[in-house]
Each structure stands twice: as structure tokens, then as C-alpha cells.
Structure 1
Amino acid sequence: MSNIPGSAGLVLVPGVRHLDEPAAVYEAMLTGWENQQKSRILSLSTIGPRTALLRRFAAFTGSYPWSWTASDVEDFTVSLTSVSGGRLAPSTIRGYHLVLRMFCDYLIDPRYEWVRQCRDRFGQVPSQVCHEWNTVAHLSDYEGRPTRRPLSYDEVQQLFDYLDERVERIAVSGRKGALAALRDAQMIKTAYAYGLRRTELCRLELVDLRPNPHMPEWGTYGSLHVRYGKATRGSTPRRRTVLTVPEFDWIVAGMRQWVEQARTIFRPADHPALWITERLTRVDGAFLERRFSRARAGAGLAPELTLHCLRHSYVTHLIEFGYPERFVQDQVGHRYASTTAIYASVSNDFKNQTLRNALHRIYARAPKTTVPQENR
């Protein structure tokens, strides 16, 4: 009998008769798969939704895994794409299919002995019910909303002008809130200047401000050490260092003003967070999204633009500035260059200028050919 995590022998007690044996075996299957995933150091936030989906699928089919068929998957998918099912996005449905496929792979793997258990108990065995003809294929590199895009240079400037004017307006009026407005402005500018995700921005601490030995005049604002980068499922957050680039050197003055002058007015004592609220708590993602939405509306920008669009803008603008793709990839923490390419959406002006440069490089330097007189 196998003793590897998730095997039937570890979750089914031999010799015990259950009042509802099918239900008991199914619960043991779910427990075994949870144990198998825990042994791979997957988080509970990953395992929990997967188990919930399997229960939902079993309730939909009204049967247990050893009776599931490919047509059950097809009927389930149709229900997900119907009006009553909420018409889920293809990427979401593909994720559901992946969970079902992984669970079936687990059940039919002989090392876990579920096939033998089902054959001996029910005279049926589980099979792989997900195949290429009844599951969503990943045909597109990017399945996000088409409205999500980088901001143009003018839109970035429009947003930043509004943020600065708001700070000035509150300060001149004598009302409270100028310090908070300055913090909000600097947070949003930092998101763009370093291409940060929301969590990465919120979890920054003072110790994450690092110098760049090649630019000592920037002091401790030559780079940011990101310790809470987006992790792959089941893994710990990924770390990276994001360098301040010359085109965004304006961020240095803003960071100095916030860290060395404004932040101290909050009297944060030994609070480590770079961004703190008036109540001396760490700024969280929901708070940041609300402040960005308010700034976007105040600046008169399109409502579909999100804080994450500033990260798209950062990638696009670095490429337009001429930075190598590998540098951009490392700056934003993408594992694959193809992911960085999805974020990039260079402007028509940039493409036209690139074409002009290519035309000049190829044709302007080509020696003129003299046609012989007899061939004229």
C-alpha cells in the first residue's frame, strides 16, 4: 500500500464500513488531493477554491468522480456560459477546466491507488474527463479587458498636474488634508516611475529605499527593493531591485520631499511603512485604489483606466525610450519576455519615428548607382 501524501491508504481506514460509502470515499478523495497539494507547499488560498469547485461540479452532475464523463464537463461549461451562469470569462472557465483535469490526473495515477479502491468498491473506475475537444484552449497571449491600456504621455501629465494642483489648492485654502494629498500624489507617481503593482507599492518600507552607486547624487533613492513581488501559485513572493532611470529622475525630488519632510509630520515613530495613513496604519490596496479613482476622475481621464495601467505605461515608455527588452523585463519582474511584450503598446509616433530611422539608416547611406550612358 502506498504511503505517499494523498494516497488512498492514508485517508481510508481499512476494514471500516460506512453508512454512505460513496460519499465517504468522495470526501476521502478530496482530503487526499488536499494533502497531496499541501505536500507541494501550495497555500490554503489556492487549495480551498479548488476543492470548492470540485464540490460544485459534483453537485451539478449529481454523481461521484468514478461516474463522471466528458459530457458532464461539456454540460457544466454550457451552464457557465449561459446568462443564468453569469457568462464567465474564457480565462475563468479555462481555470475551472484545469482544476478538473488535475483532479482526474490525481485519481487515475496508480501511485495513489484510487482506481483500485473504486473498482473494488463500486465496480467503476475514474477516468480523465477533460480533453482537447471539451476544454477551453489558450489561443490568445492576452485575455484581459481591451479597454485596459497604457496612458499616453499627455494623460500621465494631465494626471500628475491634477495631483499637484490638488495639493496646492488644499494648502492655500488652509483646510486639513494637504499632507494626505501630497502622500497620494507621491504614491501614484511612484507606481508609474517604477512600474509597481498595487501590493508591491503598498508593502514598501523605508529600508527598501536603496542607493545606486553609479548615481550617488540620488542618495538613497537610486533604486527600490521590492520584497513582495507577485508570486507564482504556492510560492513565496518574488524579490527584485528596480533601478531609478534617468527619464524618471524627477521622482527623486518627490521621494526626498515625502520621506525627509512630509512623512515625519505624521509622527510615525518607528513605523516601517513608507506610506502611512493619518491613523498611523499602512496604506492598503483598497485605500490606494480609491485614491487613484478619485484622482483619475478629477483629472478627467477615462473611467476604464486603472492604477495597473500605470504599470503598462511604464513598460511602454521604457521601450519607447530605447531600453533593451531584457532590462525592462527585469525592472518589472516578469519571468518571461512574452509577458512584458503583452504590456507594451508603443505609440504611433514612436513607430513612425522608428520607421524613419530605419529608412534613413538603409537608404540615406546607400551609394548612388551611376547608370551607364548606353543603358539610359
Structure 2
Amino acid sequence: MLGSWGQQQRSRGLTEDTVTGRAGVVARFADFAGTYPWQWQAADLDEYTSVLRTRGLAVSTIRQMHGTLSVFCDYLIDPAYDWVQICESFFGDTPSQICLSWNTTRHLQDYEGHPGRRALTYEELQHFFDHADSKVEAAVAQGRKGALAALRDAQMFKTAYAFGLRRAELRGLDLADLHFNAKVPQWGQYAALHVRWGKAAKGATPRRRTVLLVPELAWWIEGMRQWVEEGRDLFAPGELAAMWPTERGARVSVEYIDRRFTALRRELGLDPALKLHCLRHSYVTHLIEYGYADRFVQEQVGHAHASTTAIYTSVSGDFKNRILAEALRRFNTLEDS
């Protein structure tokens, strides 16, 4: 059953990671139930969900599990396939849909992530980047290995923020992804980034987009130019086109990026809820505070829907107070006239 379901998903164009991940969800539920899919009951799902909740799993995780099991059951009972007839013929029982409206978690709100996930403040960002830069200086001063890797990591995190990139987008950057912008010729090839590993829609290839560097973040250029023109070649990458090579001539992994961010965050004593993705939240929030239009920000970060961009936005109290002050000033001007 899992094998044929996997074939059906591959035929739809879903990635191997998705197919494998879904199969794992079904297999874990089957192990818990201790029965075959044609014997599953809604009560089995009720019990399984209760156990998962006691383990502290996020609501979104449980909802995704329900969704996967629901899709699997839909596949089994679909008349286009023969599983109902096969099970009835061989086992005298048939599969049924066990994920029902009254025993599954519904998607009631746009954001279901950890409440602690937020944009970093300007002060936190400055401390984070300063700390990353200090790793380079410390390694050089002490004559230790690691100065070059520290330089790469510092610029990598600055790039993630300066362009609002996801992990895979950051990791997948090549030198050829640096682009010009005719509106700011003085910035040269550092005026934009061509992102080729954006989040893919179901069954589709990764989305592409071009992200423009905004003037408020032009401080990024100096460090990036130093990395591209001086630092990167010291890794001796050869024909490797990756923007962020390793000492072994490979591309950095997303796991490494996560580990380094976590290590720097811990050393600074920042909130443990802050993850690498919070740099992307910070980018969206700060662009809104700089006054950029919502549609522009949405295009920059590659969101299909404006509501997703809104979820990422957590403007500061100072920004809201400034907007309110401007509104009051306009109101008072109208009253006086």
C-alpha cells in the first residue's frame, strides 16, 4: 500500500523528501495502532493524538499528521484504485476514512508557530553581527584556525538578513547569483541576488526570484565584496561555484548553518526561541518600518500571499508610535483648517 501510494505521489511530482516523510508518518501510526490499514478505526486516531499531545508536540505538527493520514486513507478508498476490493476479497474487511471533522485538528489561525519566534530588534541584530565579526578577529589574534570559516559565517548571516533568505536559498547561492541593478550602477554586481532555490509549490520545482538590495542595507556590500574578492578564494574552491564553500571543497549544509547560528545566539545569551528564520522575520519587519510597500516586501521575500508576509511582520512600538503621531498631526491640521 505504501509503495503504490508513493508511486502515485511521485506521479504528481512531489519530492522524494515529501514521499518519504509521509510514509514515515503512516508507518509510525500503524506501529502505534498495531493493526493493518483496513482495520484502522477513528478511535485509534483519537488515542494516538492524545498520546502525541502529552508529549508536547506543536499543534501544527499534529495537524500535519492528521492531514497525511487523511490523504493516505483517501487514496485507499478512492474508486480509481482497487484497495477496497482487494482488502474485502483477501481479508473480509475494507479501509475507511478515520480522519473526520470531529477528531482532527483544524487550521483555525494563520500562524501556529512558537510564540517566541519573532523579529530581532535592531540592537539584537547589531550585537549578533558584531559577535560574528569578533570571531574572525579573535581567531587571527590568537593564531588559531577558523578565521576564514568565521569570516564566511559572518557574511553568510548578514546576507540572510540583508535579503530575507530562507536556509535553502542561502545555502544554494552561487557566485553567478550576484546581479547588477541599472538604478544603482555604483553598487556593481552587489545590487541584487538571484534566488534559485526558493520554496517550491506542491509538485513543482523551486521558485526563482530576484531580490533587490535596499539602500538601508547597503552596508552589506563592503563585507560581501571583501568575501567574494579576497576571502572565498582562500578556500581553494576550484570549479565549485558555491558562494559559501567549506574547507573540503563542498557547499555548506543547512545543518551547519543552523548549528552556527545557534552557537552564536547561545554565546550572546539571546532568547532560545530565536532561530535562523528569525533573520527573515527581521528583514520583513524592518522593510515595513522603513516604509516600503507591502507588495514590494511580498515580492522581495517570495510569498505567494500577502497574508503570509503579514504574519512575518512584528513592527516595533517606536514605529507604531511614529505612525500614530503622524496620523494625529494630520488630523490636527485638518481640524485647524
Q: TM above 0.5, one fold?
A: yes
Max radius of gyration: which structure? 1
Aligned-pair distance for 1:120?
Answer: 4.0
Q: Which amino acid aligns with 1:188?
A: F
- In the alignment, which residue of structure 2 is the partner of 1:292? 261
Report the CA distance between 1:172 and its aligned residue: 4.3
**Which amino acid is 1:178 matched to?**
A
| 1:213 matches 2:182 | yes
* CA pair 81-170 structure 1, distance change in 2 beyond 3 A: closer
Q: Determine the structure 2 residue equivalent to 1:267.
A: 236
Whole-angstrom CA distance in 1 between matches of 2:298 and 2:314 = 15
1:127 to partner: Cα distance = 2.4
* Candidates 353, 356, 360, aligned match of 2:329: 360
CA distance in 2, matches of 1:234, 1:277: 31
1:296-375 equivalent positions in 2, closer than 5 A: 296-368=265-337
| Residue in structure 2 matched with residue 162 of structure 1 by the alignment | 131
- Aligned positions of 1:1-376 closer than 5 A: 29-82=1-54, 86-368=55-337
1:203 Cα shift? 1.5
Once the two structures are TM-superposed, the CA of residue 236 in structure 1 deviates from its matched residue by 2.0
Q: Secondary structure at the match of 1:228?
A: coil
* CA separation of 1:61 and 1:185: change in aligned 2, threshold 3 A: closer
| TM-score after normalising by structure 2 | 0.92
Deviations 1:112-161, CA, capped at 9 Å, x for gaps:
13333334444443322211100011122112111221110111112222
Are the structure 2 counterparts of residues 219 and 99 from structure 1 closer, same or farther at C-alpha, using a change threshold of 3 Å? same
- Structure 1 CA distance, aligned partners of 2:131 and 2:87? 66
Asked if the contact 1:222/1:243 (under 8 Å) is kept, the reply is: yes
What TM-score do you get using the length of structure 1 for normalisation?
0.83
Q: Is the 1:193–1:248 contact (alpha carbons within 8 Å) kept by the matching residues of 2?
A: yes
SS in 1 for 2:195: strand
Distance change >3 Å, CA 214–CA 122, structure 1 → 2: same
1:244-263 CA-to-partner distances (Å, cap 9, x unmatched) read 01110111111111111222
Aligned to 1:22: none
Q: Give the whole-Å Cα distance in 2 for the aligned partners of 1:251 and 1:222.
A: 10
The size of the alignment, in residue pairs, is 337
- Matched residue type, 2:274: L
Instruction: Determine the C-alpha separation between the residues in 1 that align with 2:224 and 2:200.
Output: 27
Indicate conservation of the 8 Å contact 1:202/1:284, yes or no.
yes
**Runs of 5+ consecutive residues of structure 1 not aligned to the other structure:** 1-28, 369-376
- Paired-residue identity, %: 57
Relative to structure 1, the CA distance from residue 114 to residue 299 in structure 2 (aligned partners, 3 Å threshold; closer, same or farther) is closer
| SS of the residue 1:162 aligns to | helix
User: Would the alpha carbon gap of residues 117 and 262 (structure 1) be closer, same or farther in structure 2, given more than 3 Å must change?
Assistant: closer
Q: Deviations over 1:135-194 (max 9, x none)?
A: 011122112111221110111112222233443344445544433322222111111111
Q: From the superposition, tell whether residues 35 and 303 of structure 1 become closer, same or farther in structure 2 (CA, over 3 Å).
A: closer
Distance 1:256 1:103, change over 3 A: same
Q: Work out the CA distance in 1 between the residues paired with 2:32 and 2:267.
A: 47
Report the residue type matching 1:352 in the other structure. N
* 1:157–1:55 CA distance, 2 compared to 1 (3 A): closer
Distance 2:141 2:32 in 1: 62
Cα–Cα, structure 1 residues 166 and 110, in superposed 2: closer, same or farther, change >3 Å?
A: closer
Q: Which sits farther off after the overlay, 328-337 or 60-69? A: 60-69
Aligned-pair distance for 1:73? 1.7
Greater CA deviation, 57-66 or 70-79?
57-66
Deviation >6 Å, runs of 4+: none
Query: C-alpha distance in 2, partners of 1:215/1:127?
Result: 61
Instruction: Look up the SS of the partner of 2:196 in the other structure.
Output: strand
**Contact in 2 for aligned 1:179/1:262 (Cα 8 Å):** yes
- Which letter does structure 2 place at the counterpart of 1:285? V
Contact 1:190/1:251 (8 A) holds in 2: yes
SS of the equivalent of 1:229 reads coil
Q: Aligned partners of 2:31, 2:156: CA distance in 1, in Å? A: 46
**Structure 1's 41 and 243: CA in aligned 2 closer, same or farther, altered over 3 A?**
same
Instruction: Say if 1:46 and 1:233, in contact at 8 Å, map to a contact too.
Output: no
